[in-house]
Structure formats: C-alpha cells, structure tokens
Amino acid sequence: MLDIRVARRQGSFQVDADFKAKNTGITALFGPSGAGKTSVINMVAGLLRPDTGRIVVQDRVLFDSECGIDLPPEKRCIGYIFQDGRLFPHLTVRGNLTYGMRLTPPKQRCIALDQVVDLLGIKHLLDRRPAKLSGGEKQRVAIGRALLTSPRLLLMDEPLSSIDDGRKEDLLPFIAKLPRAFCIPILYVTHSIDEIERLADNLVLMADGKSIATGDAAEMVNRIQSGTNLRVQAGPAATTC
C-alpha cells in the first residue's frame, strides 16, 4: 500500500494531497499543468520537504512530520524517472545504468543488468554517451537506471512529454510491461488522457494542488469524459483528512 498525505505551502500555492494507492500496477496522478502533481512526487522522492504529512511506501514510513521521520532521498529506495531524463552527461550509457546499481547492496539487488538491457532494447547503446541518444533512447536508459537500484516504487514524471509522438508508441509498451515484469508499483504523473487509458490501473485526480478524487482508472476516465463534475462529488471527502 502507498499511503500519501502531504501538505506544503509554496508562496501563494498550497499543495494538499491525500491518497492511497495499491501496491501493484500503475497509479496515475492526473490533472492540468500546475495542479501540483510534480510537487507531490518530489515530496515522495524526498527532493521536496512537506510542511506536514506522512508518506508510507510498502509499509515503510519515509516521512512523518509528527514523529519527526524524514528519510533522505538516497535512503528511500525509490526510483525516479524525470521528465527531462537527467542522464549524467559525463558517463556512458553503461556508466549511467550502473551508477545506482553499484550503490545498492548486492543482497538488495533483485534486478539484473542483462534483464533490463534486454527488456528495454538498449544493448547497442551501452558504450555511447547521452548526448548522442534520441529522446526515446534517453528515457529508456533513464528507466533502466532507476530500475537497477531495485526500488520499491517507481515515480515517473511525464516521461513521454519530451518525446515526439511517433516515438511515444515505442515507449508505451515498455512502461506498461514494467509493473508485472519487476513487481514494482508505479506512480505516473501525466496530463494526457490517452496515456492513462493505455497504462493506468488507478487514478488520482488533482487540481489546484489538491487531490480531489481517487478510483479505478477506466471508470474515472469514463466519468471525466462524460462530463460528470468530479470536483463537486469528491470535494467533501477530500477535505476530511
């Protein structure tokens, strides 16, 4: 179970998210740009500190403002795939892939380099530098790099947004395969209904920094598309945290 309840004030913007998600499959964090989605997963990753709240991933408390728990990012065992890839430009693809793997104690490694390289089809890229890769190739390497730390949760922040449309089709099947192939839940930030229909099992709807509804992805997409006003329905429930 992922149990996430975070509040943080950023200038005049208030992020206030509260949701639970299953330990399997892909949970999409959906909402318009500026809804606070990235802030929420940055808090889950430990890159941003909530003012108050509690973050539990697979029965491990990562943050709890009341108990004074705040694990640094490197202790959270969470893989993060950023919107812009963020591959290390001074290392080869192989160096990037093994960067986190070598920092993971051998006992905790449950994902092998060969397995990831095969699944993502990046064997021919291993000795290249990130500057020579296309957008799609970069994101596949970034996914591999995060997977190789054998994380308990994968965070993806609009991983397809910097890739042109034709190439998205290549990457979608890879992402869809991940939860089952490696038994890792994914928290997937997007503002694309299409990606949700293709990938997500569950959906958390966000607007104006608040999580306003949670539920089965297919059902929620139906309701969004049929124009039901989710905000009114879910409003009271979301405020009782």
Binding to another protein by residue 109, rule CB under 8 A?
Answer: no
Identify the three-state secondary structure at position 2. Answer: strand
Binding to another protein by residue 128, rule CB under 8 A?
Answer: yes
Q: How many whole angstroms separate alpha carbon 86 and alpha carbon 142? A: 7
Please, what is the angle between helix 135-147 and helix 93-101, to 10°?
20
Binding to another protein by residue 86, rule CB under 8 A?
Answer: yes
Q: Which of 43, 146, 171, 221 binds another protein (CB under 8 A)?
A: 146
**DSSP secondary structure code for residue 65 in this structure:** T
Binding to another protein by residue 31, rule CB under 8 A?
Answer: no
In one letter, which amino acid is 38? T
Residue 122, token pair as written in the block? 């990046």
**CB distance 159 to 175 below 8 Å:** yes
Q: How many whole angstroms separate alpha carbon 186 and alpha carbon 206? A: 17
Q: Which stretch binds another protein (CB under 8 A): 28-36, 96-104, 116-124, 218-226?
A: 96-104
Residue 230, token pair as written in the block? 């989710």
Report the residue number, 36 or 100, with the smaller CB distance to another protein. 100
Least Å from the CB of residue 147 to another protein: 11
> How big is the site for another protein, counted in residues (CB under 8 A)?
28
In one letter, which amino acid is 216? D
Q: Which of 39, 139, 149, 202 binds another protein (CB under 8 A)?
A: 149
Binding to another protein by residue 103, rule CB under 8 A?
Answer: yes
Interface residues toward another protein, by CB under 8 A: 45-47, 72-74, 76, 78-80, 82, 84, 86, 88-90, 99-100, 103-104, 128-132, 145-146, 149
